[in-house]
Structure 1
Amino acid sequence: MKKRFLKTFLISFMAFVLIYGGTIYFYMLKPDEEDTISKESFLDRVLDDQDEITFLLLGVDGKDTKKNDKVRSDTMMLCKVDKSTSQISLLSIPRDTKAMIRGRKYEEKINHAHAYGGPELSMKAVKDLLGIDLDYYVRVDYGIVEEYVNLIGGVEIDVPMNMKYDDPVADPPLHINLKKGLQVLDGDKSLQFLRYRKGYKDQDLGRIRAQQTFMKALVDQSLKPANIMKVPQMVKTYYDNVDTNIPLDLIMKFAVKAKSFDTTAMHTATLPGEPKTIKGISYYIPYKDESGRLVKEMFLNQEAVESIRNNIDEAN
């Protein structure tokens, strides 16, 4: 049976590859007489006062990110980057979360939304589930993990247990063989660490915790001075493996603040809830009240909450 696996969550481009992706363009903007006006206008837009961006990070099953609208998402994370506070917020949404998907008669697993309508429908499903405004997505495949980790010189991880698992028929074949303990993982071993699930007592929830641990380590490594000079390679990795609707203008607004982001200010959490089997199908059932409080704390201010409530009331 084909195993689904983590295609990545990479805060590195949420706060780095995504952000650095704009940096290279920033430094390439050298006005000449023919286009000074247009470039000045562009920089005016870049340097306006927007302090934060929220987007849905999707990892998908497939080798070509931009051609995989009809597959289920394997990873869903709601992400916010706030350049005024240098804080990064990540909320993991288990792929089996039971939710309404627009156009479907009954509640289904939220990761089905991507198969029905790509990242756009996934955003709508998350928006309806959590009661937030959400306009942007970043969609990635597993290839970015190996390539990017090798580019930055590996990631130091304290592997919590011996990890061994094989599935030669998976696509790509899955061969996991990691020893317990603190070590620097290269791209291939990082992929093994992220794809491992069977050894955790709570399986997907255990893997989510591993994802969050990996992200923090990845951010630390990405921010080292030796890696700042690798922006051009990061840009290539970004465009080879990333599909996003975030405008370049908006990406660049955060480029100049990339160095200020700090993992100690990173807020990571998993949507509160519990696994439950309903009519023979395994779901993850969110705790409505607790989830609402957490989303408000991580992503919303009071003015935004009231605005969303008013919009919902008007729609009804």
Structure 2
Amino acid sequence: MTRKGTSKRRKWLKIIGIISVLLIVALGGYAYLVYKSLNEAVDTMHQPIDREKSDKRVEQITLEEREPFSVLMLGVDEREGDKGRSDTMIVLTVNPNTQSIKMLSIPRDTRTEIVGHGTEDKINHAYAFGNEEMSMATVENFLDIPLDYYIKVNMEGFKDIVDAVGGINVNNKMAFSQSGKQFEEGNIELDGDAALAYIRMRKQDPNGDFGRQERQRQIIQGVIRKGISFNSLTNFDDIFDALGRNVRTNMTFAEMRDIQKNYRDAAGTIDQLQISGSGEYIGSIWYLIVPEEEKVRVQNELKEHLELEVTEAPA
């Protein structure tokens, strides 16, 4: 090779080297911005609760060892001067060994013991009586499983989260209109405003509140799947900002990091569960009464998913 050729080669190597360094710096800066934004959002979201360790779990779970865990998701309509009620109560069990999530909606009118209040009432009243702590204790008692975490979402602001991930796709089972929006049957794209209207429709649905619960699970499933996709990283600032304004949880930043690292594959399969019962008036109030055998059926499905000992069905 001539001196001239060698000189050109060295020149290009220097240029490639400089470009490589710039790319590394740029990626490092981007990673830092993502980390900083996430940290700030988590600081705002983090809301510890005054609650003793669940008596449903003998030992605390270890996320580093990929043990199954559970989450109570509360959807609360919070308005100024009113802390609201948890009209949406969804239990998620996450098992990385089976690479799956089970999602159970609990009907808000379900009659059960309100743990810590000394009454039997609609299960969603637990939040009004005693915030996240009483909600967790009441749902634990009803389902006979430990609840490791809670996530509270302000449903008024949930549309911001849907918009932040770039909208979602759902499979709508029936055509209907709600809040001035028309929803066709089949696969449809939803932005934040449409998603909020989609989950609030109930009166036109022949399945009533059960139909609304299924739509709520569809929206959450869509956000989970869109949120973990690579493309959503380009919107990280909007996503973290929306989460910081509308979500509260007892998860720490370290726990979120462990879940993202060790449980990511679990989102591959999301099974939607349903618990059924019959309506009954007690006094002048309508409740959903869940038979004991139905309750045990659902309890055992969740226990198996959490790799806990199941309960014998009632005779």
TM-score (norm 1): 0.71
Q: 1:303 to 1:259 in 2, by over 3 A?
A: closer
Residue 160, structure 1, aligned to residue 176, structure 2: no
1:86 match: 99
* Contact 2:90–2:105 (CA under 8 A) maintained in structure 1: yes
1:59 match: 75
> What's the Cα RMSD here?
3.0
* Contact 1:63–1:141 (CA under 8 A) maintained in structure 2: no
Q: Flag structure 2 segments of 5+ consecutive residues without an equivalent.
A: 1-33, 40-60
Instruction: Give 1:145's match in structure 2, choosing from 155, 158, 163.
Output: 158
Provide, for residues 44-82 of structure 1, a one-character-per-residue CA deviation record: whole Å limited to 9, x for no partner. x99731433212110112147xx86x5321110111222
Q: Percent identity between the aligned chains? A: 28
CA distance in 2, matches of 1:301, 1:179: 34
1:184 match: 189
**1:27 Cα offset (Å):** 9.3
Instruction: Give 2:108's match in structure 1, choosing from 95, 98, 105.
Output: 95
State the structure with more CA Rg.
2
- Secondary structure (helix, strand or coil) at the match of 1:246 reads coil
Q: 1:241 to 1:26 in 2, by over 3 A?
A: closer
Provide, for residues 250-302 of structure 1, a one-character-per-residue CA deviation record: whole Å limited to 9, x for no partner. 22111124652444x21211223222223231111112222212222223479
Residues 158-307 of structure 1: pairs in structure 2 closer than 5 A: 158-165=171-178, 175-181=179-185, 182-257=187-262, 259-263=264-268, 265-300=269-304, 304-305=308-309
The count of aligned residue pairs is 257
TM-score (norm 2): 0.71
Q: Flag structure 1 segments of 5+ consecutive residues without an equivalent.
A: 1-22, 29-44, 166-174, 310-316
CA distance in 2, matches of 1:151, 1:104: 38
Instruction: Give 1:24's match in structure 2, choosing from 20, 35, 41.
Output: 35
**1:178 Cα offset (Å):** 1.4
* Contact 1:83–1:254 (CA under 8 A) maintained in structure 2: no
CA distance in 2, matches of 1:180, 1:244: 35
2:279 counterpart letter in structure 1: P
1:241 counterpart letter in structure 2: N
- Secondary structure (helix, strand or coil) at the match of 1:208 reads helix
**1:202 Cα offset (Å):** 2.8
Instruction: Give 2:145's match in structure 1, choosing from 128, 132, 151.
Output: 132
CA distance in 1, matches of 2:38, 2:139: 35
